[in-house]
Structure 1
Amino acid sequence: MITQNKYKILFILLGLINATAWYGCKDEVDLPDQPIDSYTSVYMPQGVNGAVTTTLKVKDNLVQTAVYGAAYGGYGVPDADVPVSFKVDNGLVASYNTANKTNYQVLPASSYALSATTSFIPKGKTSSEPLKITFKAKGDGAMDAFKTYLLPITISSPAVKVKESLKTVYYIVRALPDLADYPAYERSKFAIAGFSSQEANGEGPNNGRAVFVLDGDNNTFWHSQWQGTSAPPPHFLTIDMGEVKVFHGLSFLPRQGDQGGKPNEVNVQISTDNITWTDAGSTVLQNNKNLQTVFFEQGFNKQARYFKVTINSSYSSSVTHLAELYAF
């Protein structure tokens, strides 16, 4: 009885082995008929990881570029040159902003140039030669500093289909100045053109008045009036630079003591005639004794002879004071 059971088990095992061998040796595989061309496309490889962020320096005679180009994807390599074209498609900026909840502006045409709008992927290769976008961040026709722009570049080809997901590369472009490139203006022609109040007596004969923000002495200071009656905020100083200059920003040196009253929330306006004023921007200064240098974005690179500093609030006090004030 045991012998018969062994033979039955052996028979079943042999059947399984034969079935496996038959399927394993079958040399025909049924695949759907798909032409190789359906797997082939051209695309812009710069967009593989999303938008390309480019931060430029606001500097003279500096060539600043970004790369664009075409790539070939699919089975093998092309057996002939693959022509491609590129164009700037500013019509996509609005839809990009909507989809990404951004507010990027169209990059002005005067502030960039494409090295070519046509190219090709050579026979036997998988990419075109790299092409360059050259940006202009300073001078006539340059983009505005601090603004963020969007430059969409789209590829097309008459020979090979374009991969839709990598058809367009979005370049996010911003130009930022470097404080090291903007030394303070010489102040020999600077003069006080106006102020909200000053402490003419209470701080002694060589302190308290507005003129002391221009004397080059870190230990003297302007102080808003506190003797007799305390002048409430906002406090302001207006400076005449003596001639029209290109305005970029200001440097504030707080009073070198530890008293409350150091400027906190500050607004700046600029003018060429002391009559018509333009907002240059706002800032929040730190509660310390350090020189604090600030670019004012709205007024950056604009013509001005006068600037007005309005201190809307101070640290731990309603009065305010300032040791030195510089423009650059």
Structure 2
Amino acid sequence: MKKKSIIKILMLGGAILMASSCKETVMLPEQDEASYNQVYMPQSVNGTVSKTLDVKDGDQSFVYGANFGGMGYPENDIRVRFSVDNALVNTYNTLNNTNYEPLPDGAYQLSATESVIPKGSLSTSPFKISVKTTGSNAIKMFRNYLLPVSVSADFKINEKLKTTYFLISSQPNQADYPDYGRSAWKVVDFSSQEANGEGANNGRAIFVLDNNIQSFWHSQWQGASPGPPHYITVDMGKVITLHGVNFTARQVDGAGGKPQDVRIETSMDNINWKPAAQFTLNAVRNQQKKWLTDFVDARYVKFVILSSYSSSSVHLAEFGAY
């Protein structure tokens, strides 16, 4: 029995030695590490960079820069340059079926157009693109602008990541624009109203200014039922700057008769009118605020209802502005 055990141990040891001797040493070819080393813009890694800025005094900014990618660290300083080529906006629009405008030259500034990725480092310092949202040369509110910033260098460039496309827009902060008081406002014209059929405290155009969301204006339906466009003209008592308007629908269930497509017009004299905005409202009860395309000074404002949900008539609880 003892002899058999010794034989088994010897056989197992031999098998292990044979397995070890059969294992090959794998030799990998030499790698050209330098071919992996490239300069790129890290902001471009995730595609288009969207920036929505507040409309306020003072420039607003965001970051750009260049990185070294590859094996190890650069053995020498790498000089890089940043530039904007608006011809790339057209290329981007064609490829993506968009219609963005180039960011106007006077509306922005690059804090640096040249820099260095230092020897032994992986990036330049972070730089800033400053954009104006107010004052001369400021970007227009609610418009989308495209700014393509590209990096170049006396070094290999990652062609897929050399340009960052910044999609820039601006909009006001709603909290900075409270609703105007309406105590001096008067309805001076309207397309029609239901003066009888809705009761003593409903139906007439004046009820869009009574601070009561339970009352409402309704276009005429008794004796006649005119279709759209429906409108009400309001004299605000003095010239004010209109930034936007608000609507509160009649407080009933269902969409039928709630305003859908609306146009805003403004005037200084109630004779000459200019379009200020056009938009679509939702069929909901709560107040809806809508910005004008541009801020405008006016004494008179007219809201024109071009269509209503599921009806040719219309009703509305409150109208205001901010």
CA distance 1:142–1:320, change in 2 (3 Å):
same
Q: Partner of 1:5 in structure 2? A: none
- 2:296 maps to 1:302: yes
- 2:56 maps to 1:56: no
1:41 pairs with one of 28, 31, 38: 38
Counterpart contact for 2:38–2:157, Cα < 8 Å: yes
- 2:60 maps to 1:69: no
CA distance 1:99–1:125, change in 2 (3 Å):
same
1:200 pairs with one of 195, 199, 213: 195
Partners of 2:35 and 2:285 in 1: how far apart?
68
TM-score, reference length from structure 2: 0.82
Question: Which amino acid in structure 1 is aligned with residue 251 of structure 2?
Answer: Q
Residues matched between the structures, number: 304
Question: Which amino acid in structure 2 is aligned with residue 106 of structure 1?
Answer: P
Unaligned runs of 5+ in 1: 1-15
1:292 pairs with one of 288, 291, 297: 288
TM-score, reference length from structure 1: 0.80
Counterpart contact for 2:57–2:133, Cα < 8 Å: no
Structure 1, residues 98-141: CA drift from partner, whole Å, max 9, x if none?
11222211112233221111111112111111111122234443
Shift of 1:44: 1.1
Counterpart contact for 1:265–1:285, Cα < 8 Å: no
Q: Partner of 1:226 in structure 2? A: 221
Give 3-state SS (helix, strand or coil) of 2:294's partner.
coil
Q: Partner of 1:313 in structure 2? A: 307
Listed as ranges, the matches of 1:141-290 within 5 Å are 141-157=137-153, 159-257=154-252, 260-274=256-270, 275-286=272-283, 288-290=284-286
Partners of 1:170 and 1:236 in 2: how far apart?
43
Q: Partner of 1:106 in structure 2? A: 102
Unaligned runs of 5+ in 2: 1-17
Counterpart contact for 1:269–1:281, Cα < 8 Å: no
- 2:132 maps to 1:136: yes
CA distance 1:126–1:284, change in 2 (3 Å):
same
Structure 1, residues 264-315: CA drift from partner, whole Å, max 9, x if none?
33222233443132241121331x432222224xx33233333221223334
Give 3-state SS (helix, strand or coil) of 2:87's partner.
helix
Give 3-state SS (helix, strand or coil) of 2:160's partner.
helix
Shift of 1:224: 1.7
Q: Partner of 1:13 in structure 2? A: none
Percent of aligned positions that are identical: 49
Partners of 1:143 and 1:269 in 2: how far apart?
23
Shift of 1:184: 0.9
CA distance 1:228–1:74, change in 2 (3 Å):
closer
Listed as ranges, the matches of 1:86-125 within 5 Å are 86-125=82-121
Shift of 1:169: 0.8
Counterpart contact for 2:264–2:301, Cα < 8 Å: yes
Question: Which amino acid in structure 1 is aligned with residue 304 of structure 2?
Answer: T
Partners of 2:287 and 2:131 in 1: how far apart?
33
CA distance 1:75–1:250, change in 2 (3 Å):
same
CA distance 1:193–1:118, change in 2 (3 Å):
farther
What value does the CA root-mean-square deviation take over the aligned residues?
Answer: 3.0
Shift of 1:261: 2.8
Please identify, of 47-56 and 121-130, the stretch whose mean Cα deviation from structure 2 is larger.
47-56
Partners of 1:76 and 1:315 in 2: how far apart?
64
Counterpart contact for 2:240–2:297, Cα < 8 Å: yes
Partners of 1:111 and 1:167 in 2: how far apart?
23
